[in-house]
């Protein structure tokens, strides 16, 4: 963009703005917010909905402000009577063939279409258009597609290809019959979909939602024969406040523990504990490979959408993938063995429930290779959004409830476990521990700043006993693709690579609360605030290194022996294999 300033007129007032931007961007700078729907600043411009129309002097037709460039001397009207009417007509047209079931809809109260209709001043409906009726696709373990609610803004399609690089979705057929679907209208479970849930995050309506497991959980909580055990991921505590109208970035872990006990859980554990455990295993695996000279780079594997993406698009790198299970699956494995033994309970009587920021964890939990002694390790996965709803539905006062602590013996965590939720955090946590295990010295400056922040691909160097370690971090599957291409080209380029499947890491997971009225999905300010909650948690802790967590030490002493022991291998490690559903194309795709 050039820095030239130009003068434009909006609604009879003159403004100096940067040249080379769209009318919408210029108007945003001048204190306007032109209504919009298909536009998203992180995605390419679609220009499909025409909700953002403005009048430009000298032009016969209204123009879509998200797609039209400003020019010097341009006179723009954003709010004339005719324009307001035209905009309103456009939204009414969308509503005409939209199911009118807001009050039984998953997005009720959280829906961009609802908000838009309200702000257009649509208060009653004159006309009922023809409706579309398609079956919902319920095949996926994580993501439900409901074409009846789709308004064809195309955001999900662009999200899935431009940010995630998965290219699962497209618009098929034409006109009134257009439907967003995967190739050949295949059931979702059979497609390349990684279950990341980012299409859910960007969809303005309820056309993509997660597979809901709240009813099943409520039911099981009523079963007196079950021992109900919960675990809570780091990023859930950093975001759930938003479901209750709090600004993003509040750490609500104490409120969550208190809430889950009132909901009927007997034990509430912390996934941050098992994040420390993951570091012990993965850090040791890294050192072992470093000493044995390979295979390197070691690539992290705790992000479930990333697991599936890697198995589909990069099966040639499987030997580089860490065999350490994710923190969720490690905690679940310990719950059904170590903990069951401690409380002298039959593990089959234990209901293991994971509260996660992630829709892909629902898929991960269903992977048979993660079963423990023939049982599912994680019985139910509930997203942050679902937890917010359950709390309200159970009539629990989340905001003013007195915070409580997590339970022993899987509840204590180091600061390293907390930052697992942010891009770069797993690497930072691993370095804190690996450095000390390798050199025998204490790492003084434990905050590795080069690994922090939201740059798509971050690179850093750490010197360990005279040896330089080259590190890379990627968040969002599209960025992962970039790093992996570098790895394919030159296996010696990095020693250690961290990948998280979602933008920002788990804090931007596909199961996090929807954007509120004043924000947009994937808003970077919101992600920053959530990240700072976790970095704050880290700083508050006296123990900031995983290997110093006394309960992790106890677990090794009493049960596992040492990292990478036979028992650890049996319970805390897994394996991956190539998966090639239809629709896999070499990831060097053109975005068409």
How many Cα atoms sit within 13 Å of 571 on the Cβ side? 24
Is there binding between residue 166 and ligand SF4 (CB under 6 A)?
yes
The smaller minimum CB distance to ligand FES, of residues 47 and 536, is found at 47
- Can you tell me the distance from the alpha carbon of 263 to that of 395, in angstroms, rounded to the nearest whole number? 9
Is there binding between residue 452 and ligand SF4 (CB under 6 A)?
no
- Can you tell me the distance from the alpha carbon of 472 to that of 297, in angstroms, rounded to the nearest whole number? 10
Q: How many CB atoms lie within 10 A of CB 399?
A: 11
Task: Mark the segment that binds ligand SF4 (CB under 6 A) among 100-108, 240-248, 277-285, 440-448.
Answer: 100-108
Residue nearest to ligand FES (CB): 66
Of 20, 47, 170, 295, which lies in the binding site for ligand FES, with binding defined by CB under 6 A? 47
Examine the residue annotation and report whether 285 is marked as an active-site residue of this protein: yes
Examine the residue annotation and report whether 364 is marked as an active-site residue of this protein: yes
Is there binding between residue 173 and another protein (CB under 8 A)?
yes
- Can you tell me the distance from the alpha carbon of 82 to that of 438, in angstroms, rounded to the nearest whole number? 71
CB 417 within 8 A of CB 548: no
Is there binding between residue 120 and ligand SF4 (CB under 6 A)?
no
The smaller minimum CB distance to ligand FES, of residues 52 and 533, is found at 52
Is there binding between residue 499 and ligand SF4 (CB under 6 A)?
no
Residue 196 makes CB contacts below 8 A (sequence gap 6+) with: 164, 166, 305, 359, 360, 477, 501, 502, 510
CB 527 within 8 A of CB 509: no
Tokens at 235, concatenated: 């990023």
Q: Which of 499, 435, 514 is nearest to 203 (CA)?
A: 514
Of 65, 78, 205, 322, which lies in the binding site for ligand SF4, with binding defined by CB under 6 A? 205
The smaller minimum CB distance to ligand FES, of residues 62 and 339, is found at 62
- Residue window 132-171: x/- pattern of binding to another protein, with contact defined by CB under 8 A: -------------------------x---x-----xxxxx
Of 8, 27, 48, 200, which lies in the binding site for ligand FES, with binding defined by CB under 6 A? 48
Tokens at 136, concatenated: 């919902």
Tokens at 354, concatenated: 């994971």
Is there binding between residue 444 and another protein (CB under 8 A)?
no
How far apart are CB 513 and ligand FES at their closest, in Å? 23
What residue 590 binds from ligand SF4, another protein, ligand FES, none (CB within 5 to 8 A, per partner kind)? Answer: another protein
How far apart are CB 522 and ligand SF4 at their closest, in Å? 12
Bridge partners, residue 38, by sequence: none
The answer for 374, left when phi > 0, alpha when psi is -120 to 50, beta otherwise, is left
How far apart are CB 140 and another protein at their closest, in Å? 15
Binding to ligand FES (CB under 6 A): which residues in 12-41? 36-39
What residue 52 binds from another protein, ligand FES, ligand SF4, none (CB within 5 to 8 A, per partner kind)? Answer: ligand FES
Which H helix or E strand runs over 397? none
CB 509 within 8 A of CB 358: yes
How far apart are CB 181 and another protein at their closest, in Å? 8
**Could you tell me the sign of the dihedral formed by the alpha carbons of 60, 65, 69, 74, in that order?**
positive
Is there binding between residue 547 and ligand FES (CB under 6 A)?
no
Provide DSSP, 101-168. -GGGSTTTTS-HHHHHHHHTT--S-----PPP----B--SSSEEE-GGG-----HHHHIIIIIS----
Q: Which of 14, 12, 43 is nearest to 26 (CA)?
A: 14
Bridge partners, residue 75, by sequence: 9
Binding to ligand FES (CB under 6 A): which residues in 90-119? none
Is there binding between residue 363 and ligand SF4 (CB under 6 A)?
no
Of 6, 45, 102, 183, which lies in the binding site for another protein, with binding defined by CB under 8 A? 183
The smaller minimum CB distance to ligand SF4, of residues 170 and 254, is found at 170
Q: How far is CA 556 from CA 21, 279, 283, 372, 463, in A?
A: 58, 13, 15, 18, 29
Examine the residue annotation and report whether 524 is marked as an active-site residue of this protein: no
Task: Mark the segment that binds ligand FES (CB under 6 A) among 44-52, 215-223, 295-303, 509-517.
Answer: 44-52
Is there binding between residue 128 and ligand SF4 (CB under 6 A)?
no
Provide DSSP, 41-108. TTS-----S-TTEEEETT-SS-EETTTPBP-TT-EEES--HHHHHHHHHHHHHHHHTS---GGGSTTT
- Can you tell me the distance from the alpha carbon of 540 to that of 554, in angstroms, rounded to the nearest whole number? 23
Of 22, 164, 301, 329, which lies in the binding site for ligand SF4, with binding defined by CB under 6 A? 164
The smaller minimum CB distance to another protein, of residues 87 and 481, is found at 481
Q: Which residues lie near another protein (CB under 8 A)?
A: 157, 161, 167-174, 181-185, 582-583, 585-586, 588-590, 592
**Residues with a known catalytic role:** 282, 285, 302, 322, 361, 364, 369, 506
Q: Using CB under 6 A, list all residues that contact ligand SF4.
A: 98-99, 101-102, 105, 107-108, 111, 113-114, 143, 149-156, 159-160, 164, 166, 168-169, 180, 193-199, 202-208
């Amino acid at each position: 963009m050039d820095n030239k300033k130009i003068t434009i007129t909006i609604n009879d007032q003159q403004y100096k703005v940067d040249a080379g931007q769209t009318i919408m961007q210029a108007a945003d700078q001048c204190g306007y917010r032109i209504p919009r729907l298909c536009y998203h600043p992180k995605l390419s411009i679609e220009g499909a909905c025409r909700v953002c129309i403005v009048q430009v002097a000298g032009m016969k037709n209204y123009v879509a402000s998200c797609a039209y460039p400003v020019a010097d001397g341009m006179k723009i009207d954003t709010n004339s009577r005719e324009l307001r009417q035209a905009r309103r007509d456009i939204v009414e047209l969308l509503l005409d063939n939209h199911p009118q079931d807001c009050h039984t809809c998953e997005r009720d109260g959280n829906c961009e279409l609802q908000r838009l209709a309200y702000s257009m001043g649509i208060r009653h409906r004159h006309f009922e258009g023809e409706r579309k009726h398609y079956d919902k696709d319920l095949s996926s373990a994580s993501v439900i597609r409901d074409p009846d609610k789709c308004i064809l803004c195309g955001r999900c399609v662009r999200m899935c290809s431009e940010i995630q690089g998965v290219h699962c979705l497209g618009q098929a057929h034409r006109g009134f019959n257009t439907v967003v679907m995967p190739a050949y209208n295949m059931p979702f479970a059979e497609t390349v979909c990684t279950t990341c849930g980012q299409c859910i995050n960007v969809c303005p309506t309820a056309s993509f939602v997660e597979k809901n497991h709240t009813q099943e959980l409520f039911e099981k909580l009523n079963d007196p024969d079950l021992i109900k055990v919960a675990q809570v991921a780091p990023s859930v505590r950093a975001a759930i406040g938003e479901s209750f109208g709090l600004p993003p970035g509040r750490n609500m872990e104490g409120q969550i523990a208190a809430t889950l006990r009132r909901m009927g859980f007997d034990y509430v554990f912390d996934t941050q504990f098992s994040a420390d455990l993951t570091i012990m295993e993965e850090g040791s695996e890294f050192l072992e490979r470093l000493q044995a000279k390979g295979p390197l780079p070691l690539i992290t594997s705790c992000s479930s959408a990333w697991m599936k993406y890697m198995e589909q698009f990069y099966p040639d790198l499987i030997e580089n993938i860490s065999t350490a299970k994710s923190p969720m699956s490690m905690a679940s494995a310990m719950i059904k063995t170590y903990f069951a033994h401690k409380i002298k309970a039959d593990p089959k009587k234990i209901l293991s429930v994971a509260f996660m920021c992630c829709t892909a964890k629902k898929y991960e939990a269903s992977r048979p290779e993660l079963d423990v002694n023939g049982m599912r390790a994680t019985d139910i996965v509930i997203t942050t959004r679902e937890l917010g709803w359950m709390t309200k539905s159970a009539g629990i006062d989340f905001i003013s409830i007195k915070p409580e602590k997590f339970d022993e013996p899987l509840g204590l965590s180091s600061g390293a476990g907390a930052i697992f939720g942010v891009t770069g955090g797993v690497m930072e946590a691993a370095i804190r521990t690996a450095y000390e295990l390798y050199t025998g010295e204490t790492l003084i400056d434990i905050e590795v700043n080069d690994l922090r922040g939201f740059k798509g691909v971050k690179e850093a160097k750490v010197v360990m006993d005279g040896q330089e370690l080259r590190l890379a971090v990627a968040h969002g599957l599209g960025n992962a693709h970039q790093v992996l291409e570098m790895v394919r080209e030159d296996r010696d380029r990095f020693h250690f690579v961290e990948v998280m499947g979602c933008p920002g890491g788990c804090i931007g997971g596909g199961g996090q609360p929807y954007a509120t009225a004043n924000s947009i999905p994937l808003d970077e300010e919101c992600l920053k605030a959530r990240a700072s909650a976790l970095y704050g948690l880290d700083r508050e802790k006296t123990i900031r290194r995983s290997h110093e967590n006394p309960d992790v030490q106890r677990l090794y002493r009493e049960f596992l022996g040492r990292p990478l022991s036979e028992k650890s291998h049996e319970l805390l490690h897994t394996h991956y294999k190539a998966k090639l559903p239809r629709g896999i194309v070499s990831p060097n795709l053109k975005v068409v």
